[in-house]
């Protein structure tokens, strides 16, 4: 068990700076999910913690140890790879035992740990099989087993579920979460799938272009996105964002001559240009609502319906309505927003504008 601390971490590949100063503290036993689009540096961050890449500058600590210059095997970590990276010529048993043998763990102890891991993961019947005789989900479990038997301080997951089909992914997600919680091992989980991130993480790190955009609990990230990037990245369909102006009393926004009240005065100058964000699921149909959506396209998904359209001339938004509704293209749908569901961002920095303290 150990905490993982990353301090002003930089990583460059040649002239390309992939990580531009990452500061992150992961508590002992916490599951931290690193989320971001491809190329944001999330995998590089994980590989730096694993020791598969060398640090350009900054510091990584696992427990109290500075691990910058340690080989992966000396860092007391275990990693689960995206394509599982099972040794194809070894049986399931040998795959799990290999790391322990290299560590000169006594044979009865290896036997005990592998059997234990096989029991936890339901692999008992498969120990004599080779990876190619296993299904995707089973291979995933073996990769997990290989990590568990090491009894490491930290689990590192590099998009471990992205090669599985949707149904299996939900199941494995649940299993990974339970397993990590039960073992109480610190975990770092890299993914680009926001559903995985929301359901698995104690906390999320949202990364973009080598920087951390926001660190916080899943709900916090959803309800109070710290930047326009986070607002657009978390949530599906993504948050509607459109320009507006702050009213004179700083407690309402003006949009095409219409006015929307805010929950309270905000920390920006009166009359300032803003970007307003509102999630599709937070717009509610309301007779006489301040926003009128000219619907031009409807997606009926069964459990809910997504109506796309325009407000005024320019602004395109979409609305998520529960159930199958009778809305059709060409309808005009008046909408209201609860004031606390409006998010305001600075159009230049992209940062969130908070209520006045």
Partner 1 sequence: MVENRPFLTFVAHALLILGILVVALPIWIVLVTSSQAPEDVLTAPIPMWFGERLVDNYLAVLGRGLTRSSSGPVAPMMLNSLIMAVSIAVGKIAISILSAFAIVYFRFPGRMLAFWTIFVTLMLPVEVRILPTFEVVANLGLLNSYAGLTIPLIASATATFLFRQFFMTVPDELAEAARVDGAGPMRFFLDILLPLSRTNIAALFVILFIYGWNQYLWPLLVTTDERYYTIVMAIQRMVTAADAEPEWHFIAAVAMLAMLPPVLVVLLMQRWFVKGLVETEK
Binding site for partner 1 (CB under 8 A): 50-52, 71-73, 77-79, 81-83, 85-89, 98-99, 102-103, 132, 146
Apex 217 CA angle, 174 and 158, nearest 5: 50
Question: Least Å distance between CB 102 and partner 1?
Answer: 4
Strand partners of residue 182: none
Choose between 45 and 278: whose C-beta lies nearer to partner 1: 45
- The values of phi and psi at residue 321, to 5°, are -115, 135
Q: C-alpha 304: how far from its chain's center?
A: 24
Q: Quick one: 102 or 326, whose CB is closer to partner 1? A: 102
| Shortest distance, position 31 Cβ to partner 1, whole Å | 19
The answer to whether 63 and 3 are in contact (CB under 8 A) is yes
Which one, 83 or 259, has the nearer CB to partner 1?
A: 83
- Please say which residue, 52 or 241, places its beta carbon nearer to partner 1: 52
Residue 100 vs 239, nearer CB to partner 1: 100
Cα–Cα dist 25/339, whole Å: 34
Closest separation in Å from C-beta 50 to partner 1: 7
Q: Tell me the sheet residues that pair with 298.
A: 307
Q: Least distance to partner 1 from the beta carbon of 280, Å?
A: 38
- State in angstroms the smallest separation of the CB of 352 from partner 1: 38
Beta strands 240-246 and 211-216 are unpaired
- The DSSP bridge partners found for residue 291 are 335
Residues 6+ apart with CB under 8 A from 324: 300, 302, 305
């Amino acid at each position: 068990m150990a905490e993982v601390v990353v301090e002003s971490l930089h990583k460059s590949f040649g002239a390309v700076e992939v990580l531009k100063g990452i500061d992150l503290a992961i508590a002992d036993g916490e599951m931290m999910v690193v989320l971001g689009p491809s190329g944001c540096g999330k995998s590089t961050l994980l590989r730096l913690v694993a020791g598969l890449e060398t640090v350009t500058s900054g510091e990584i600590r696992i427990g109290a140890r500075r691990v910058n210059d340690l080989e992966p095997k000396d860092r007391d970590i275990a990693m689960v790879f995206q394509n599982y990276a099972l040794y194809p010529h070894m049986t399931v048993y040998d795959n799990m035992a290999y790391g322990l043998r290299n560590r000169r763990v006594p044979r009865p102890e290896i036997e005990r740990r592998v059997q234990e891991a096989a029991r936890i993961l339901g692999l008992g019947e498969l120990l004599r099989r080779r990876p190619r005789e296993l299904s995707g989900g089973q291979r995933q479990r073996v990769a997990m087993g290989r990590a568990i038997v090491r009894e490491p301080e930290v689990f590192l997951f590099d998009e471990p579920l992205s090669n599985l089909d949707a149904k299996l992914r939900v199941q494995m997600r649940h299993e990974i979460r339970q397993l990590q919680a039960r073992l109480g091992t610190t975990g770092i989980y890299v993914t680009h799938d926001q559903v995985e991130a929301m359901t698995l993480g104690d906390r999320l790190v949202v990364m973009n272009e080598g920087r951390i955009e926001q660190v916080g609990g899943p709900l916090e990230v959803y309800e109070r996105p710290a930047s326009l990037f986070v607002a657009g990245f978390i949530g599906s369909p993504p948050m509607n964002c459109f320009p507006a102006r702050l009213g004179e009393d700083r407690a309402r926004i003006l949009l095409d001559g219409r006015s929307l009240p805010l929950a309270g005065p905000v920390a920006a100058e009166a009359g300032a240009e803003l970007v307003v964000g509102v999630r599709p699921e937070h717009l509610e149909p309301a007779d006489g609502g301040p926003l009128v959506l000219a619907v031009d396209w409807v997606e009926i998904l069964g459990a809910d319906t997504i109506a796309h359209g325009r407000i005024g001339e320019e602004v395109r938004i979409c609305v998520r309505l529960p159930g199958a509704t009778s809305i059709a293209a060409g309808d005009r749908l008046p909408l209201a927003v609860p004031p606390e569901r409006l998010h305001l961002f600075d159009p230049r920095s992209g940062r969130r504008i908070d209520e006045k303290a």
